[in-house]
Amino acid sequence: MKPRITVLTLGVDDLEASLRFYRDGLGFATNGIVGTEFEHGAVVFIDLQPGLRLALWPRDSIAHDTGLAAGPASPTEMTLGHNVSSKPEVDAMMARVSSTGAAMLAE
């Protein structure tokens, strides 16, 4: 069987702030928060490329779905790379992301 990943899910503490970061900061296209009519259903889907989506889902919803206790959040649990072509693009992206309230951990 050929491995195939179709969704990468990130557990987030604040779905609204995460939406602002990925949509407004990084410029990723999304329909916003969907599934609010279901308990533990609110999620953000972002199409990364054909056949691959990024899902932002509240950590407490993941805990509920899996039956596991949510531990303390840590930024070392997951990283995502977002590459651009030049230093000016890096500077522009960092400024854009900062405008969403995201903390810059390193220059």
- Are the C-beta atoms of 9 and 52 separated by less than 8 Å? no
Number of domains in the chain: 1
The reply to whether 2 falls in a domain is no
Give 39-87 as a DSSP string: TT--EEEEEEETTEEEEEEEHHHHHHHHTPPP----GGG-------SSH
Convert the pLDDT of each residue in 3-60 to its tens digit.
788 999 999 999 999 999 999 999 999 999 999 999 999 999 999 999 999 999 999 9
pLDDT single digits (tens) 73-94? 887 777 777 788 899 998 998 8
Decide if 107 is inside a domain.
Answer: no
Residue 29's domain comprises 7-68+80-98
CA distances from 36 to 1, 15, 39, 41, 60 (A): 35, 11, 7, 6, 14
